[in-house]
Amino acid sequence: MKPEEVEIFEIKDKSLAARIGELITAHGKITTPTLFPVINPLYQEVSLETIKNIGYEAIITNAYILKKHREQEVSKEGIHKYLNFNGPIMTDSGGYQILEYGDVEVEPHEIVKFQERIGSDIAVILDVPTGGQASYDEAKWTVEETLRRARLSLKYIKEEKTIWVLPIQGGKYLDLLEYCAKKALEMPQYKMISIGSPTQILEKYDYQTLVKMIITVKNIIPPKYPVHLFGAGHPMFFPFAVALGIDTFDSASYILYAKDERIILPHGTLRLREIKEIPCTCPVCSKYTVQELLSLRRDERIKLLATHNLYIIWQEIKKIREAIRENTLWDLLEERRHSHPALLKAFKELVKYSKYIEKYHPLPKPEISGIFLYDKLSLHRPEILRHRRNIVSKYKPPTAFKVALVLFDIEAKPITRTNFYREIREKVSIEDVHILVFMPYFGIVPEELAETFPLSQHEKDYDEAVLANSLRVVYDYFLYHRDSYKKVVLAVKYPTLEVKNLAEKLSSEGLKTHVLRYSEENVEDLVNEVLKFL
């Protein structure tokens, strides 16, 4: 098998466009999604033993800094022995230094050969990051130069054990990202793809732009490629990135926030000097009070705060993974979108790509619990999209009916287990009348589907926008299945203008449609009225 044909990534589970995978490296398997903590190769505030004990399987360090300051030593020992870490190690090539300082004192082929020589498990070519402030022409140059260097580096890549990463540049310019991603696929020797230089975008909490960037790249890159996000920053964005298909991250946020005496929490950060209690029970926070931490020497305090931050980040990774296994990642996004305005903007951007997400979202698992629906943004949930599409284009009524009885204002679910439904069925022939229920979000639910997931396993809140949107599904349903019914009866407890307008629209399409008022306490009257339409 040729090196470019070796499969290094196996997908184990899915939810939305997220996946739990197994990334196979020379020093062991990595479960994804995961984070590689950024390690300063010259000085480690938190020991690698502590990082590994927390749960991190892999780390990332800077090959350029090692070459510049410790070339002979690390070349002789190899990076794993030098760092005293026997798990997978990813090395960056100096791209971040180019972004920060404009240039580095190394040629692209030199850093490629160096990373292979020291035994990097995952290595990055010396790309030219676009950054978040580049003009279009500057961004275009970074794309072409990165691709040129990628082609050049192929002449020097010899070690088959190293997974080589090709960063996709272009920044916020989506056409450049798309172009770069397509060109990357012409070089199959690169088995891993990364989205380069989002750091400056993340620093501004511009998650909305990052959503667009991820979607653009993922729409081009086949699922077999693991995709890395450089400089991922605060973990509160991780669920959104993972939901779009990001597999691995790296971040130095744990130590950068610690040096600023800030502690990371799932929903944001807190300044240590501005709080009385830390809302956390990690080993650090269980042992030290705020006052005790403040009384320590600064270097000791930084180490402990960084350790806390690593615990919180790892907790978030585990929470995301479990949401994927349970196929409830959308619920986690719904929860997190309320925690920060930037995340709400990201979620609003994410739902624009609901068709992309729904394409990868797996079928529900038998043991899954119910889903929660909040507002019009929940209309983009994959389960909602699938029901609406299938009920119009794939569902087929079991026979031709004389009457379609659509019950509005029903809260009980499934309706088929209510006495109200049973009483109607005792008096009305199943061959003559097809009972359907209007449900906000789903639109319309035939009786024979009422007990299927998630039609009977959801909790909801909704507004007029959701109702109006859902009524359109009823209209589409009857237009598509117009030959299956002679008459349509819209039965309501509380007549509304919207339902009356729906009846008029259906009538104008040639469907004999009537609005009927009913009460669940008076089934006899409802049945008698329905029988008049037979």
**Cβ(374)–Cβ(239) below 8 Å:** no
DSSP helix/strand/coil, 510: coil
C-alpha to C-alpha distance for 199 and 97, rounded to whole angstroms: 12
Asked whether residue 348 falls in the same domain as residue 376, the answer is no
**355, 379, 394 — which closes off a domain?**
355
**355, 383, 407 — which closes off a domain?**
355
**pLDDT tens sequence across 147-164:** 999 999 999 998 789 999
Asked whether residue 385 falls in the same domain as residue 332, the answer is no
**Taking the CA of residue 256 as centre, how many other CA atoms within 13 Å lie in the half-sphere pointing to its CB?**
12
Domain presence at residue 10: no
What pLDDT is attached to residue 2? 42
Q: How many residues does the chain have?
A: 534
HEC readout, 205-234: CCHHHHHHHHHHHHCCCCCCCCEEECCCCC
Domain presence at residue 128: yes
**355, 384, 409 — which closes off a domain?**
355
Domain presence at residue 289: yes
C-alpha to C-alpha distance for 65 and 118, rounded to whole angstroms: 13
Asked whether residue 321 falls in the same domain as residue 217, the answer is yes
Asked whether residue 334 falls in the same domain as residue 483, the answer is no
What pLDDT is attached to residue 499? 95
What pLDDT is attached to residue 266? 87
What pLDDT is attached to residue 159? 72
What domain range is 348 assigned to? 29-355
**Taking the CA of residue 386 as centre, how many other CA atoms within 13 Å lie in the half-sphere pointing to its CB?**
16
Asked whether residue 185 falls in the same domain as residue 122, the answer is yes
Contacts 24+ apart (CB under 8 A), 460-463: 460/372, 460/373, 460/374, 461/373, 461/374, 461/375, 462/373, 462/375, 463/375, 463/376
- Name the stretches of the chain with pLDDT < 70: 1-6, 95-104, 366-368
Is 92 a catalytic site residue?
A: yes
Asked whether residue 426 falls in the same domain as residue 295, the answer is no
What pLDDT is attached to residue 1? 35
Among 13, 92, 121, 299, the active-site one is 92
C-alpha to C-alpha distance for 47 and 281, rounded to whole angstroms: 21
Task: Choose among 331, 333, 330, 371: nearest CA to 455.
Answer: 371
Domain presence at residue 429: yes
Domain presence at residue 460: yes
What pLDDT is attached to residue 283? 96
Asked whether residue 324 falls in the same domain as residue 415, the answer is no
Asked whether residue 248 falls in the same domain as residue 380, the answer is no
Asked whether residue 54 falls in the same domain as residue 198, the answer is yes
Distance of CA 30 to the CA centre of its chain: 19
| Residues whose CB is less than 8 angstroms from the CB of residue 256 and which lie 6 or more positions away in sequence, other chains included | none
What pLDDT is attached to residue 3? 41
Domain presence at residue 7: no
Distance of CA 267 to the CA centre of its chain: 16
Domain presence at residue 362: no
Asked whether residue 92 falls in the same domain as residue 214, the answer is yes
List the end-to-end C-alpha distance of the chain, in Å, as a whole number.
Answer: 70
| Residues whose CB is less than 8 angstroms from the CB of residue 348 and which lie 6 or more positions away in sequence, other chains included | 208, 377
What pLDDT is attached to residue 335? 93
Asked whether residue 220 falls in the same domain as residue 343, the answer is yes
**Taking the CA of residue 107 as centre, how many other CA atoms within 13 Å lie in the half-sphere pointing to its CB?**
6
**pTM metric for this prediction:** 0.91
Domain presence at residue 203: yes
- At 192, which CATH number? 3.20.20.105
Asked whether residue 335 falls in the same domain as residue 378, the answer is no
Number of structural domains the chain divides into: 2
